[in-house]
Amino acid sequence: MKILNNNKKVFHNFFVSDFVEAGIALVGCEVKSVRSGGISLEESYVVIKNGEAILKNCYIKPYDKTRPESSDTRRSRKLLLHKVEISKLERMVREKGFSVMPTKVYIKDGKVKIEIALAKGKKLYDKRAVLREKAIKRDIDQTLKSL
């Protein structure tokens, strides 16, 4: 499994749970661009509409060896999931106030896959607490290392 892109901001801004693997419906030149690492998940999110999961605002760099007019870099792309998975995600979004966010893109068995997760927004004090815990852990590790 080759990881092409991680969305680290999701873990900083959200509490993340329930990871699901999904395929992405891509055009041929987009697949080549993604394989070369030309994808960014920074501002992307997943919307569930009419029983389909759609990846919005995901940037895929145009492939160098194709025509320039054939590239729509931020178009909506359909995610390939089972109906049961889509209905579970939709229920969690509707009832409990979760969002669905992409966390990473990778190649598995020659196919481009995306990992999506249910996410709930963090407050500012939650972010500060996480940073404080990391600092404490780093200090403990440094003192143990010096002993």
Alpha helices in 1-147 (DSSP H): 8-13, 28-35, 83-96, 124-146
Tens of pLDDT, residues 38-63: 999 999 999 999 999 999 999 999 88
The reported pTM is: 0.82
Distances (CA, A) of 77 to 61, 117, 120, 123, 144: 14, 17, 23, 30, 48
Domains of the chain in start order, with CATH, are 2-122 (2.40.280.10)
Tens of pLDDT, residues 59-90: 999 888 877 665 688 999 999 999 999 999 99
